[in-house]
Structure 1
């Protein structure tokens, strides 16, 4: 890994520009979930402990390059002060005179929050002039926003070319976890990929079959693979037009020596609602008037065996319609198994993506996973094998 950490930077007496992701939910001017704010505490605390002056760069919402008062970062100040335990000042812009004045007034031990970077049109265009105006405010740049690392923006990419740069603690933890899972993993490696559509995860499946030993496919995606094998899935959600693509993926996996696991039995129902009447049938015996809503117990037992034989697990997407019971059973059981093996030290488990985090939290298994990534798009693009501009910029 060619990027630097905070441990390698001399921060004493220096103004440190820190790119953070504090895009938190706000209702009536009050932060309703401070999780993302709490995640930046280790980085900011370490910078303060090293005698640095942290100045926060962040975006909020999608103002599309215009000043939108309801997307101001100012309401976040109380929540930041509570989490960090220090005074947080606020500047009404992230460049120019107002920002310079606020930086000059910053006392040691205090933090400064700059206004929404996306109020400037150049931010999302990775504009070099905007990046230079931001860079002019500080002496060191730290990126702690992995969740924004898949975007080449002025505050995530261009600025890192101008100032000495390092990864913050959150970024460092994320990159180390990802490196352990796909960069140089302990084998065998298993990936669980679920969700509704094959079409949205084509790049992901294409990349994974050449990198993992086992690929477990769940959710609506599994139905499309069953269709590709000539199986009738009744009224199930499936992308019939993707059958050829699914067959290509199966062939690519076979050539790469990657075993693909599809459900051998399934849970079917006539309607998609909580507590709907349901039955377990073999995967190739879905009644014409029914739909597949979850993997069956035999499929879960097979997945558990695959997990037991693995050293590394990467998980993205649920195995069934986890939002409503009883169609969350397979996801819950598989997650519990992964959590148990991780607790026992037999498995390194990394999961990410919005639905995935929700499903693992619901299963009560998230706390036992080795690493849960809160970054949706960035986590997926990393799994797809794409270069993340925000990470690449730290490598110079």
Structure 2
């Protein structure tokens, strides 16, 4: 990796500013955390820093969207501090401020590796605009910057790009390093054959990814709701399945460009309604009026398994069907099983719904890497330069 990492910097007696991703899902109107995975993912970096005798570790993160004043109460970072303290086994000081004396004094008075959690960065209107004054101000509070919020590095915000513009050294934490090592390598320098499996509902959200992976992968497999736009592009009937009419020509272009490299479903598990129960049947080819495709069928599953034989790198983003409904989860389950059975392959799950599916279906420990960033991992797979990674110092 050509980026500076926390192993390369000295943090002894220094105030370390860390951009973490504590954008956790909340319940009870923001009073409780429903899933602490993102906090757990930050622990290796925080613990490593604490083991190297810093003066203080100051954590910055956003939480939810702040569009109006009332959004602040339900996206208050205070809910994270007790859980983080519990996981670290030490005190975490929550500072209910994003700038000013309260924050400055807390950092100034910190010693012996005090962990400080700053209020939601999005309380500052300048955060999402990457206001240079805000980035400069936050940078002035520390000696060293660590970027570890992969889920946010595709956004040029004050806390992801502004701080490292003004504060050096700026290094990658372990979580960011791992994402670069897995996804970056898979897209830029994969062990071949590289097979990409793309699902989810819409072609429009994966245009750049399909385009880039058709260039770099040895096989690109399409599933999920977006498959029916490809059905339409091939002249097949789609019933009441989800089809993006304005993307049919693009799908035709991909079919032409992909040739044998592009693998599309040949059958679908269909229902008369978007529901778990109903008149469910497996249909090959044309889908009749009144039926919608909600999962890939058994022949498509076999084709995917055959395409995965001998694969050395597999990237998967997006479920094969409506996996939240048990009658339409089979395609996703079978892909999980196929990946788990691959011997010696680097299997990467690209965040978002596919990550949720792998965890929910109990396959999390059977794959090489589950990305912590939905949008970030998609943009990374498109081959884009992510501003938060670019802002980290080169070695």
Per the normalisation by structure 1, the TM-score is 0.93
SS of residue matched to 1:394: coil
Q: Match for residue 264 of structure 1?
A: 266
Deviation track 1:126-170 (CA, whole Å, cap 9, x = no partner) reads 111111111111100001101010110111002112221101111
> Mind listing any 5+ residue stretches in structure 2 that lack a counterpart?
none
Distance 1:189 1:79 in 2: 39
Distance 1:351 1:76 in 2: 26
RMSD, aligned CA: 1.8
SS of residue matched to 2:294: strand
147, 169, 178: which is aligned to 1:173?
A: 178
Q: How far 1:251 moved relative to its partner? A: 2.0
Which segment is superposed worse, 290-299 or 271-280?
A: 271-280
Q: How far 1:334 moved relative to its partner? A: 1.5
Query: Any conservation in 1 of the 2:57–2:116 contact (CA below 8 Å)?
Result: yes
Distance 1:54 1:194 in 2: 39
Question: Cα gap change, 1:367/1:118 in structure 2, threshold over 3 Å: closer, same or farther?
Answer: same
SS of residue matched to 1:209: helix
Q: How far 1:97 moved relative to its partner? A: 2.0
Q: Match for residue 3 of structure 1?
A: 3
Distance 1:289 1:47 in 2: 58
Q: Match for residue 144 of structure 1?
A: 148
Tell me the matched-pair count.
Answer: 389
Query: Any conservation in 1 of the 2:187–2:383 contact (CA below 8 Å)?
Result: no
Q: Match for residue 89 of structure 1?
A: 93
Query: Any conservation in 2 of the 1:228–1:247 contact (CA below 8 Å)?
Result: yes
Q: Match for residue 56 of structure 1?
A: 59
Query: Any conservation in 2 of the 1:64–1:119 contact (CA below 8 Å)?
Result: no
Question: Cα gap change, 1:70/1:274 in structure 2, threshold over 3 Å: closer, same or farther?
Answer: closer
Q: Match for residue 323 of structure 2?
A: 322
Query: Any conservation in 2 of the 1:96–1:133 contact (CA below 8 Å)?
Result: no
Deviation track 1:263-288 (CA, whole Å, cap 9, x = no partner) reads 12222332332243323232x24333
Distance 1:312 1:61 in 2: 33
Deviation track 1:49-71 (CA, whole Å, cap 9, x = no partner) reads 11112111111222248693443
Q: Match for residue 240 of structure 2?
A: 235
> Mind listing any 5+ residue stretches in structure 1 that lack a counterpart?
none
Q: Match for residue 26 of structure 2?
A: 26
Distance 1:348 1:261 in 2: 20
Alignment of 1:280-359 (within 5 A): 280-282=282-284, 284-341=285-342, 344-345=343-344, 347-359=345-357
Distance 1:64 1:271 in 2: 35
Q: Match for residue 158 of structure 2?
A: 154
Q: Match for residue 250 of structure 1?
A: 255
Deviation track 1:91-138 (CA, whole Å, cap 9, x = no partner) reads 232333221210122120321111222221211111111111111111
Question: Cα gap change, 1:111/1:295 in structure 2, threshold over 3 Å: closer, same or farther?
Answer: same
